Chains A and B, each alone.
Chain A
Amino acid sequence: MVDRSGTPLVEMRDVSVSFGGIKAVDHVTIDLYPGEVVGLLGHNGAGKSTLIKCLSGAYKMDAGEIYVDGKLVDIQNPRDARGHNIETIYQTLALADNLDAASNLFLGRELITPTGLVDDARMEAETRKIMARLNPNFKKFNAPVKALSGGQRQSVAIARAVYFNARILVMDEPTAALGPQETQMVAELIEQLKAQGIGIFLIEHDVHSVMNLCDRASVMKNGQLVGTVDVDKVTDEDILSMIILGKRPEVAAS
């Protein structure tokens, strides 16, 4: 069971984002505790990706505050987010297709030699190490990631998020493009990371995955938060009716 007595690892308070008059995110508050997985659910266009991109630094909030370890932080761009140990695995994976796995893994944070040049050999060695842990079948270290399969590309994106000692991990539909075996691998990884005390926001369409992987679920509809529920205390149907009807189940509340 997740201990929620202390300060949350991250709290997004009263966040609003609008695009040209349309409120994509409307006064939403969510939080996340260490070692917890919080699922974010909702239809396409419900605002979950927009909300989470404020945390990753890809979008700027129009209103609202973000607290990390109870302290107010200012996240203007992806670099700021990384500075607070917030790592994101985007749905599009955000990989440069023309570069190899190591270059992608270290993109923006290259290891350099004392002369200031990028240290490709060391980066490749580090990549081999982390890949041996995450995906032992991964062998194509010198090919551009364009030449990799969906699962292999996914593992590069995951390795990038995990390698830099993330404390807060955002995963935007990490299993959308994966086969059953690779999906299982991601599920195991999430358990592993949870055990290390990392907090994870998981954007997910599939209610069953949420029931299996998450501790809590926050459901959004039309930019607003329908509610946050303990996954153990509700049924699939409860969550589905939150998503579809925007109706909070009676038992809920957390």
Chain B
Amino acid sequence: MADASASGTSIGRKNIFKTLEFDTRLLGMVGAFVLVCIVFNVLTEGRFLTPRNIFNLTIQTVSVAIMATGMVFIIVTRHIDLSVGALLATCSAIMAMTQTQFLPSLGIDYGSPLMAPVAIVIGLLAGGLIGAFHGWLVGYLTIPAFIVTLGGFLVWRNVAWYLTSGQTIGPLDDTFQKLGGIGGTLGTTASWIIGALAVAAACYGILQARRARIAHEFPVKPVWAEATLMALAAALILGFVATLNAYSVPTRVLAREFEARGEVMPEGFTQGYGIPFSVLILIAIAVVMTVVARRTRLGRYIFATGGNPDAAELSGINTRLLTVKVFAMMGVLCALAGMVASARLSFHSNDIGTLDELRVIAAAVIGGTALAGGIGTIYGAILGALIMQSLQSGMAMVGVDAPFQNIVVGGVLVLAVLIDIIYRKRTGDV
């Protein structure tokens, strides 16, 4: 009797998720993330889920998350990239040297408005070219990606060293530094506006998809399900904005700013940070990469090639050129990640991005990207990066020794893949 009623409710619950057409894997990952947050929040007596820590978590995740979105495409096409951390270092070194040596030698000095954009463009170009070169070696010369990027790992780490003579290069341009995190945020008002726009865009997207299905007379979800989805999206977006806005700039910092402008800070003046620019960049990249994955021919070909390379080839897809494109994208994303990482530090250091290749691959894999190819999502990879970062900073806050932190993260990676394998076997899902 008890059994029957229990199974009855579980079926009912499944149906709700089915009607909402939720991805059960996504739910699993969100569940794991929430669990990690709650456990650490209890262990740290409420210090983990404060606006301040959430703000820090997001800006610490950005660099790895940016690269993880590109790693999804690499792994989906059955390749691997072990060189992303080293490539990040080379791009960061190039951007730093552009700012401190190259441009000043052309007469463009520190503080020039040209400095940041020129440095970024050069960095992105370098990343794209190096990535494309990797892709050419893999696609056209058919050297396994593992070998190409293992070589690249050594090459680019030491190219960065050579370029900077192993020195720390800084300080970087002020505008450039704004892209790093706490130094550059939108402020509360602009953050609310962005949040409202995002909610509008999400609702419009859901409506538009529904309209397209109705136009072609396909079955659609019930209206309440769509409404729930919209409400959920709005709550998530606005909750995120509210949290980042709730972290206020320390009074000392504000007072100093007022002083610098020759004014006196009014009594009781407070100001929230709002959304950091680096997080905005990550969100923009996530949106673009998701559109590429789902709604462009390029994305369709990436997934088709990962699912069945022969079939893709026989369908007239140029899989070699596709490999070049995928690695070039990875290179550009490494440069963007390098930009954010060095801006956050405010200088380029010789060990920047060390071990990032492993974090990035782990983030993509924890996020459900299958190493066999053909399967993976952008949001999964970002969530994977967030879970890893939460584990790492949570353990640091609890006071777990550094070696144990890495031991746990390594264990979690293997465990996550095991759970994924079991899940796939159980559901027969892909």
Q: In the complex, A79 Cα to B321 Cα: how many Å?
A: 15
B402 to chain A, nearest CB (A): 40
A107 and B295 contacting across the interface, CB-CB below 8 Å: no
Q: Assess whether A22 is interfacial by the CB under 8 Å rule.
A: no
Closest to B305 in A: A96
Of A58, A99, A144, the most chain B CB neighbours within 10 A belong to A99
Chain A 60-97 interface residues, beta-carbon cutoff 8 Å to B? 77-79, 82, 88, 90, 92-97
Of B38-46, B241-249, B312-320, the stretch lying at the interface with chain A is B312-320
Q: Give per-residue flags for B400-430: 1 if the beta carbon is below 8 A from chain A beta carbons, else 0.
A: 0000000000000000000000000000101
Q: In the complex, A146 Cα to B316 Cα: how many Å?
A: 21
Q: Assess whether B306 is interfacial by the CB under 8 Å rule.
A: yes
Closest to B317 in A: A108
B315 and A78 contacting across the interface, CB-CB below 8 Å: yes
Residues of A within 8 Å of B305, CB to CB, are 96
Q: Assess whether B4 is interfacial by the CB under 8 Å rule.
A: no
A147 to chain B, nearest CB (A): 7
Q: Assess whether B307 is interfacial by the CB under 8 Å rule.
A: yes
Residues of A within 8 Å of B428, CB to CB, are 147
A99 and B304 contacting across the interface, CB-CB below 8 Å: yes
Q: In the complex, A58 Cα to B314 Cα: how many Å?
A: 6
Q: In the complex, A118 Cα to B300 Cα: how many Å?
A: 9
A107 and B310 contacting across the interface, CB-CB below 8 Å: no
Q: In the complex, A116 Cα to B298 Cα: how many Å?
A: 11
* Residue from A94, A97, A110 within 8 A of B314 (CB atoms): A94
Residues of B within 8 Å of A82, CB to CB, are 316
Q: A99-B303, A103-B304 are in contact. Are A94 and B374 (CB under 8 A)?
A: no
Of A119-127, A196-204, A244-252, the stretch lying at the interface with chain B is A119-127
B376 to chain A, nearest CB (A): 10
Q: Assess whether A117 is interfacial by the CB under 8 Å rule.
A: yes
A144 and B303 contacting across the interface, CB-CB below 8 Å: no
Residues of A within 8 Å of B301, CB to CB, are 108
A98 and B317 contacting across the interface, CB-CB below 8 Å: no
Q: In the complex, A95 Cα to B305 Cα: how many Å?
A: 10
Closest to B306 in A: A98
A174 to chain B, nearest CB (A): 16
* Residue from B308, B312, B316 within 8 A of A79 (CB atoms): B316
Q: Assess whether A56 is interfacial by the CB under 8 Å rule.
A: yes
Q: Assess whether A112 is interfacial by the CB under 8 Å rule.
A: yes
* Residue from B212, B296, B307 within 8 A of A118 (CB atoms): B296
B300 and A78 contacting across the interface, CB-CB below 8 Å: no
Q: Give per-residue flags for A215-253: 1 if the beta carbon is below 8 A from chain B beta carbons, else 0.
A: 000000000000000000000000000000000000000
A107 and B216 contacting across the interface, CB-CB below 8 Å: no
B295 and A96 contacting across the interface, CB-CB below 8 Å: no
Q: How many residues of B contact A (CB 8 A)?
A: 29
Residues of A within 8 Å of B269, CB to CB, are none
Residues of A within 8 Å of B300, CB to CB, are 99, 103, 107, 110, 118
Q: A77-B316, A107-B312 are in contact. Are A117 and B291 (CB under 8 A)?
A: yes
A92 and B310 contacting across the interface, CB-CB below 8 Å: yes
Chain B 304-349 interface residues, beta-carbon cutoff 8 Å to A? 304-308, 310-317
Query: Is the interface on chain A under 10, 10 to 19, 20 to 34, or 35 or more residues?
Result: 20 to 34
* Residue from A58, A77, A96 within 8 A of B308 (CB atoms): A96
Q: Assess whether B218 is interfacial by the CB under 8 Å rule.
A: yes
A122 and B375 contacting across the interface, CB-CB below 8 Å: no
Q: Assess whether B297 is interfacial by the CB under 8 Å rule.
A: yes
Q: Assess whether B18 is interfacial by the CB under 8 Å rule.
A: no
A121 and B317 contacting across the interface, CB-CB below 8 Å: no
Q: In the complex, A145 Cα to B300 Cα: how many Å?
A: 15
A51 to chain B, nearest CB (A): 16
Residues of B within 8 Å of A88, CB to CB, are 314
Closest to B313 in A: A78
A121 and B212 contacting across the interface, CB-CB below 8 Å: yes
Q: A98-B374, A118-B296, A144-B430 are in contact. Are A107 and B212 (CB under 8 A)?
A: no
A118 and B374 contacting across the interface, CB-CB below 8 Å: no
Closest to B76 in A: A98
B228 to chain A, nearest CB (A): 20
B316 and A94 contacting across the interface, CB-CB below 8 Å: no
Q: In the complex, A95 Cα to B308 Cα: how many Å?
A: 7
Closest to B211 in A: A121
Residues of A within 8 Å of B310, CB to CB, are 92, 94
Residues of B within 8 Å of A98, CB to CB, are 303, 306-308, 374-375, 430
* Given A77-B316, A78-B316, A124-B216, 14 further pairs, Cβ under 8 A: A58-B313, A92-B311, A94-B311, A95-B308, A95-B311, A97-B308, A98-B303, A107-B312, A108-B312, A112-B297, A117-B296, A118-B296, A121-B218, A147-B428
Seen from chain B, the residues whose Cβ lies within 8 Å of a Cβ on chain A are 212-213, 215-216, 218, 291, 295-297, 300-301, 303-308, 310-317, 374-375, 428, 430
9 interchain pairs, CB-CB under 8 A: A95-B308, A96-B307, A97-B430, A98-B303, A98-B308, A103-B304, A117-B296, A122-B216, A125-B216
Closest 6 CB pairs of A and B: A98-B307, A79-B316, A96-B307, A108-B315, A98-B374, A94-B311
